[in-house]
Each structure stands twice: as structure tokens, then as C-alpha cells.
Structure 1
Amino acid sequence: MGAEITAVRDFLAGHAPFRDLPPEALSALSRSLTVRYVRRGTRIRSVGEAAHEMFVLRSGAVDITDPEGALVERSDPGTSFGMSALVDPAPSRYDFTAIEDSLLLVVPAEVFARTCAEHAGFATFYAQAHTARLRRALGVLHATTRGGAVFKTSVRDLVRRPPVGTAPSTSIREAARLMADEHVSCLVVLRDGRLVGILTDRDLRTRVLATGRDPADPVSAVMTPDPATVPEDALTFEVLMEMVARAVHHLPVVDRGGRVTGLVTGTDLMRLEHNNPVYLVADIAAAPDQPALTRLSRRIPVILEQLVAEDASADDIGRVVTALGDALERRLLVLAETDLGPPPVPYCWVVLGSQARQEQGLSSDQDNALVLGDDADRADDGYFLELARRVRSGLAACGYAECPGEVMATNSRWRAPVGTWRQHFAGWLDTPQPQAVLNGAIFFDMRPLHGATELVTGLRREVLGRTADSDLFLAYLASHAVGQRPPIGFFRGFALERHGEHRDTLDLKHGGVAAVVDLARVHALRHGIPEVNTRARITEAARAGSLSVGLAAELRDALEFLAYVRLRHQGRAVRAGREPDNFVDPADLTDFDRRHLRDAFRIVRSAQQALSQKMALGHLS
């Protein structure tokens, strides 16, 4: 080996990913390289130029800029650049300019491809460049275009001071004096650091002054015991819904360990800008009838368009849109109960699919069911059928299309006692049939919305305790998940819809978002993970070892990018006065969108291949 080749080899051996190659492979690669000297100011490659080689910077410095001239990266010695066009063959997407006299090691495309094919770690290193680029793209997409306020305020942002606490044995008089001294309207009551109650100024008025109670009595006699709480990362609209539902004005804020870190009040929420969705939630809760709800529902598309135009993530937007849909549905149930009278037996109204996962967009249809107490009989069904009909018609009037597959509580199959629901799940788990499993998958994304929630929490606990051992069920579910091929066609294009009214468009829901949803569901059910939200499922699957940490992070980024482009498309439809849908005309995509959609689809395909190998789906007959 010549001295120069030896020097190149020694240099590469000090930098990733070359240092991880076997010695003989590194030597072979070093012999295949050429050395190029470039002067300061030299344009090494321009946007749109064909790429037949990649570069490793041996000395000097190179700036990588996007088509708008923004600096993407400044390469230091040992870093590679220009490989993206080889990983995803296409004209160069960046300009590479030497800002110092520089020495480049030039790797021919065929040498790069051969090394990737023979050494998985080498290929993985460069494939991760797509992930890093996708993450930068998310940052660009989320940049505000209006300069407006960001609607993703968490409870943590509202907490102004630590909570003022007292013990259950404190006298009412002492507690009132403490509230006056601290200028607060509520105390948290703690026993050994654990929250056991709250005492508000309203409690002092209604439970002490109005009743003539002795101020020497302990706080425990008049406090609200075991109050509802909200986590620090809850969004403000979720807090408002909780306050409205419980008719309270104070909620303790707790961290992941259950420790009280603050209090949030109705006044805190009023400090937010009036155009936040929290006000729509309050208006919905006070709506007197279904026509009023229909009028209020027309504000939801406007809010989505506003959030897309501001610095809100797809995850946050999905949670907001879902919360507004939840509020509409819950109010329709309350109005129906007011007309029909109290239910004959306890029941729980559940939502399914994207609403259960808190991932709704504007084109979501109705997916719901009724879980009844086991003491329900046929005589009771008339009440619940009429309840379901009223909600179905009310939701349709609010813009939520009826489910074409009849997955609604008006369908008697999905309006049943707990025992019957156990039989439904047992059929899917114990004697699975491919089509039945596919049709039933939506019921594994179930969230209680209204009524006796314990009916559903107990049922879900039982089901999740069995899914991990239901091998054939999981295999059928996984087979469908890996069969949802991302729409990447030949010659670097996209596979478009070929028939119908959406011909020649890209289906971002079924071809992209749904593929990630299906993958996350399989991983969650394999490990009995209770989360329903897709991002949460991916995170917990990584913690359970079902997904690698790296792949989980990539999937979350892919989901965010795909969902954001979809929601942005829907926001544009609202602004243009069109009916929002999931079908994007490729002509409406920028080059930026196209290349990062390809990155996202490639990540989804990698996750599908990993699941297929993990579950040996090639042997499924």
C-alpha cells in the first residue's frame, strides 16, 4: 500500500462510519478513492446538478446551503457530504461551496453503493442522514408564517407560583387566615406530602359561613376530598374541559410522580387570548340545543386553519381538533339524556379510531359504540337506540359523516353489554380470521367519553392482558400493517391514486399516516401497552424493547411530517372554501415537501420490514 493510500486509510479510520469497517474493507475503499484539491470560493456541486460521487472533507471547510441560500451545515474535516443524492438518487438538493482551500476525498457512486450493500452499519449511518434532514424539515414546517401566538400552552406555563398547602388537621380559621395572607383562593390539603383534598373560597362560603360551622373544626371536615388533578403537560383546552365537566374553578397540577406542583384556575385560563379553542369548548358545553351545536361546529375548520398557520405541531392540532369533537359529542349525549330521562342501566359511550387516539383531522367520520352494564336487557335497548340515533344525526349535522362501515352505536352489534363485548374480543383474539381481525382492529383503539367509564377501563384491562399471547391474531394484524405499502413509485416518484374522483392524487392518510398507526398498534398490543395515542404507543414500544430507540424516534418524526402536510392541505382547503380531504395533488407539493415525504415514507417502509422480520411474517400462511 502506497504512502498516500496509507495516509488516507489512517485518516478515515479516525472518523465514522469508516472506523467501523473491517480492516480489509477500509483498505479496499481507500484504494478506490481519489483526492481533489479545491480553492476557496469553488462551487463543488450546485443544486440540480447530477450526483455521481460523494465527498469526505480531509482538510479545509465547506458550506452546505439550500436553494434559498440558507446555511444547512458547515462541514469540518472528517465529515461526509453529497451522499444524500446517492442514498436517494436524484439531482443535488444543495449547493456545496469551499469557504477555505480544501482537500476532498472523492468516493465514486458505485463504490459507495457496494460498501453500503456489504456493510449494514455503514449503510445505516448514511440512512440516518435522512432522519436528521427530516427533523430539520419539521423545524422549517413548524415555523410560524403569521407571527401569531402559539396555541400549545401547557398547564406548566400557566402555573405562576408553588401551591399553598396545609394539613387536614389545620383549623378552618387558620386556613382562612393563611389564604388571606397568601392572597390565594385555594389551598391544597396534604398528608405526608400526598394530596388528600383542596379547600377553596367557595367552600368557606357554602360549607362554613352558610351552615354556621365552627371555625375551630379541622379543614378535613369541609374540604373537597380526593380532588381531580391535571398533569403538567396537559394542554389548556383539556383543563377547561375538565373544569366545565366537573363544575369546578380550581385544579391541582401534578408531576409524573403525583406531586402537586401548582394550581390552575379559571382566571388563569381567561388570561389566554380570546381566539383560543378553549372558548369554543366552553360555548359548546353551554349550547342549549343541537342547532346551536351545528353553528358552533363551523368554527372548528377555522381553528384548524389558524393553528396550521401558526407554530403548532400536527400532534397538538390533532389533540385540539379531537377535544372539540369530544365536546360536541359529549354535549349531544347530555342533551339526549335531558330529553329521554336517566338511562335505565349504567352505560359508557366510547369513541374509536382517530378520535380515540386524539388524532382527528377535518375529514374524520363517526366511529363510536356503547358499552352497557351487564344488567341491561332487551327492554332497555329502545332507550339506547334512540340515544345513539340522536348523537348520530347531531354529529352528521356538525359535519362528521356517518361511518360507511356502520361502526356506530346505532348498529346493534356495537351496542351491547360488557359480557357481549368480551365475546367480541374473544372472537378476534382466540379464533381470528384475517378479515375479521382487520375489521375489528378499530375496537382496539377505544377511549371512554361519557358515562360509567369503569365499564370500559375494566374491559380494556382484561383485553390487554391477553393480546400479547394471541400469536395468530397479532400475525394477521401485523401482516396488514406491513402490507400498507407507502406510496413510493418507480423513478423517485409517488404512487398516485389510479381511479375515481381522487385520481392522480397522493393519499396521505391511508398511504402514510395510517401505516404508522397500524405499526404502532401492533407493537402496543404485542406488549399489552394501554396507550392508544400513536406517538405514545411508539414511545412505550421502544421502552418495552419492541422498537429500537432510534427507529422509534424516526417513526415519530415521520408521523409528524406526514400528519402535518395532511393537516396543512386541509387548512388550505378551508381557506379556499373547498371540502377538506386527505388527497393531495402532487402539483401542490414543493420540492421541499417531495423529498422529505420520500424520507418519511422510507422510514415507514424500514419499520414495516423490521416488524416483518421480528414476527417472521414470511411464514404466515
Structure 2
Amino acid sequence: MAFTDAAACLRPARLRSRAGLAGHPRSVARIVSALLRRGVDGPEVARVVARVNDALLRRLVTWGTAELGPPPAPFAWIAWGSQGRMEQTLLTDQDNALVYADEGDASRAWYAALAERVNEALVTAGFPECPGGHMAKHDHGPLSRFVRRAATCVDKPDAHDAEILLDRRRLAGRLPLAAIDAELARGAGASRLLHFLAIEALELSPPSPLVLSLRRGAEVDLKRHGLSPLVFLARCHGLEAGATSGTTLARLEAARRAGVLSADAHAEIGEAYRFLLGLQLRAQVRALEAGEPPANRVRLDALAPPERAGLLRAFRVVKRWQARAAYHYQTLG
């Protein structure tokens, strides 16, 4: 797959100006469609999409630094969310931040200008602004501030902010982030944080099979009803096992190795995750081919019989894992 990565990343890496940004979504959609036709599984396709978007982001940062001049101090452009986990699909908004060395704080205007330029260019390239405002133009600052933020997540549990920080990945810049990693690593032994992360994961759940069978033209949100519960619980179990970042599958593997997940649970959860992510990508490609925007919602009667059966099977896996997690993290009281 390394060759696919290299070939797929050539277009964004060779962009000469912002005039070519509008074609990025079409280019990514073609890549996804080609990979799915070849039988590549969902997580691998999503990883390639993330790599392509990484290449675009680095190109934008290169343009920004060329226009603004050398950075006053080292920095790191961080991706949160699905790009941070390398699990991107064809429907994604921006989730990012800009961290710089503390000695650069006196020149914060330089970093604010870089963040503004890159965020605006990403909108042009088809990445809408984050509804929650988790974007570098709002979220830029010295490293010490992000280290304190990570420490606060652990010591005074804030599940939402912890979820953001745990899905981080540096995409550009050379500023080391080990100090943030060290604070988040303390979360492995923070039972209250794990408890609150589990509560967040259990708030999203698949609809019951009975409701789906009785509702004419029933629709399901593949992200909200299936993928998000798996991603959230993997984040929680992974942190308990000491994994402070990584893909969902890597977190599941860390949990298995640490004994947090049994081998059987690891296998069925991983299979459900692969199926749901692949189905989401296929549904988004079908929508684009029909001239419609990609979405996370699908009608059950629009799925092939094996897809419907696989979806219901994956939903049962999600519900079983949620029930076990509720007991494990004592969220039932």
C-alpha cells in the first residue's frame, strides 16, 4: 500500500497555487472509489485518505510560511478527530490546532496569521469549518498551555476535551509534543477519567432491530449509531491499556495485549469496525456517483441483503460491548 500512498499524495504535494484546491474532493473521491473496487478494506482506505489530506495540509503550511517568513520559534500543526486517528472518510470537517514553543508567544500574531491562512485554504479545499470551533485560528498557543490543558483533563476529568487531545497527531512542524504525551499517559490510571469517557461512549447507541424492522424506509446514521460508539470505547479501553493516541484498531490491539479486552471480543469488535467503516465509505461513493453529497445516513432498503445483515450483526456487537463496558467502568449506578 506504500505505492498507493505515494501516488495518491502526488497531486496535493505538487499543487502550485490555491487555485487548484477546489479539485481536492473530487481527487480524493476517485482514490476512494478505486481502492474500494480493488477490495481494500475500510480502515486502510481511510488511512490513505488521511495521508492524502496530510499532504495537502503540509502544502498549505509550506505556502503560509513562505508568505509570512520563517517561524519565530518551532511549532506543530496538530490534527484532531478522524484525521488525528487516520480514519478519514469523504465527509469530514476541520479539527486542528497550532502549538508553538513558549519562546514564540511574543510573536503570537505570526502564528495567528498562519492559522488563519491555512484554515481558510482548507475551506476552499472542501473542509468545512468545525461547528464546535476546534480550529487552529481559534486554538493556537504556547506548548505550556496545551500541557496544562492535558493535565487538567486527567486531574479534573473533562471527557470531551480528553477525547479531543487523545486523538491528536502532528502533521507539520518540528516542535516535540512529548510533554503533552506524558500528561495524557497518566490517564491510564485515572479511574474517574476512564469512567467519564465510558459515559460519553455509552450515550451513542444503535437503534433496536425491532424498531428498524417496523419502520418503513428506516434510516440509520452509520457514524452516530455504529462507528462513534466503537471509536469512543476503543479510545477509553486503549487509554486504560496505556495507548494515548493511535487508530481505533491499534487501540483495540493495545487493550487486547493488556488484558482489557478478551481475544474473542477483540476479534468481533475489530470485524464490526472494519465492516461499518467500509460500508460508510461505499455509501458515500454511491451518493457521489448519484450526484448527491456524501452523508453518514443510509436507508436500509438501499443496502444489498448482505450489507443489511452485516449492519445488524455489527450493531449487535456494539450493544454487547457497551453492556460489558457499562459494568467494567461502573456507569450503571
TM-score bracket, normalised by the shorter chain, equals: over 0.9
The one of 202, 214, 231 equivalent to 1:482 is 202
Indicate the structure with greater strand content.
1
Equivalent residue, structure 1, for 2:114: 387
SS in structure 2 at match of 1:490: helix
The one of 453, 466, 469 equivalent to 2:189 is 469
CA drift at 1:237 = 4.1
- One-letter amino acid matched to 1:428: C
1:588 aligns with 2:308: no
Equivalent residue, structure 1, for 2:255: 541
Equivalent residue, structure 1, for 2:65: 337
Residues 212-263 of structure 1: CA distance to partner in whole angstroms, max 9, x if unpaired? xxxxxxxxxxxxxxxxxxxxxxx3344x3xxxxxxxxxxxxxxxxxxxxxxx
Change (3 A) 1:319 1:597: same
SS in structure 1 at match of 2:133: coil
Structure 2 counterparts to residues 536-575 of structure 1, below 5 A? 536-575=250-289
Equivalent residue, structure 1, for 2:88: 360
Q: In 1, distance between residues paired with 2:258 and 2:85?
A: 20
Q: How many residues align?
A: 333
Runs ≥4 residues deviating over 4 A: none
Equivalent residue, structure 1, for 2:140: 415
Indicate the structure with greater helix content.
2
Q: Residue 357 of structure 1 contacts residue 533 of structure 1 at CA under 8 Å; is this kept in 2?
A: yes
Q: In 1, distance between residues paired with 2:215 and 2:242?
A: 35
Residues 150-197 of structure 1: CA distance to partner in whole angstroms, max 9, x if unpaired? xxx3xxxxxxxxxxxxxxxxxxxxxxxxxxxxxxxxxxxxxxxxxxxx
CA drift at 1:594 = 1.8
- One-letter amino acid matched to 1:507: D
CA drift at 1:353 = 0.6
- One-letter amino acid matched to 1:417: P
| Larger RCO (CA within 8 A; separation ≥ 6) | 2
1:617 aligns with 2:331: yes
- One-letter amino acid matched to 1:545: G
Q: In 2, distance between residues paired with 1:296 and 1:551?
A: 38
Equivalent residue, structure 1, for 2:150: 425
Q: In 2, distance between residues paired with 1:575 and 1:506?
A: 20
Residues 114-140 of structure 1: CA distance to partner in whole angstroms, max 9, x if unpaired? xxxxxxxxxxxxxxxxxxxxxxxxxxx
Q: In 1, distance between residues paired with 2:45 and 2:215?
A: 27
Residues 561-583 of structure 1: CA distance to partner in whole angstroms, max 9, x if unpaired? 11111111001012112111111
SS in structure 2 at match of 1:618: coil
Q: Residue 89 of structure 2 contacts residue 281 of structure 2 at CA under 8 Å; is this kept in 1?
A: yes
Q: In 1, distance between residues paired with 2:215 and 2:218?
A: 9
Which structure has the larger Rg?
A: 1
1:314 aligns with 2:42: yes
1:289 aligns with 2:17: yes
TM superposition score normalised by structure 1? 0.52
Q: Residue 302 of structure 1 contacts residue 574 of structure 1 at CA under 8 Å; is this kept in 2?
A: no
Q: In 2, distance between residues paired with 1:237 and 1:591?
A: 31
CA drift at 1:477 = 0.6
CA drift at 1:340 = 0.6
Structure 2 counterparts to residues 128-277 of structure 1, below 5 A? 153=1, 235-238=2-5, 240=6
TM superposition score normalised by structure 2? 0.94
- One-letter amino acid matched to 2:182: E
State the Cα RMSD in Å: 1.9
Equivalent residue, structure 1, for 2:167: 445
Change (3 A) 1:364 1:296: closer
SS in structure 2 at match of 1:592: helix
| Structure 1 portions without partners, runs of 5+ | 1-152, 154-234, 241-277, 497-502
- One-letter amino acid matched to 2:100: L
Q: Residue 168 of structure 2 contacts residue 245 of structure 2 at CA under 8 Å; is this kept in 1?
A: no
CA drift at 1:531 = 4.2
| Structure 2 portions without partners, runs of 5+ | none
CA drift at 1:308 = 2.1
Q: Residue 495 of structure 1 contacts residue 506 of structure 1 at CA under 8 Å; is this kept in 2?
A: no
Change (3 A) 1:494 1:399: farther
- One-letter amino acid matched to 2:153: W
Q: Residue 204 of structure 2 contacts residue 225 of structure 2 at CA under 8 Å; is this kept in 1?
A: yes
1:370 aligns with 2:98: yes
Change (3 A) 1:514 1:495: farther
CA drift at 1:352 = 0.7
Change (3 A) 1:401 1:572: same
CA drift at 1:475 = 0.6
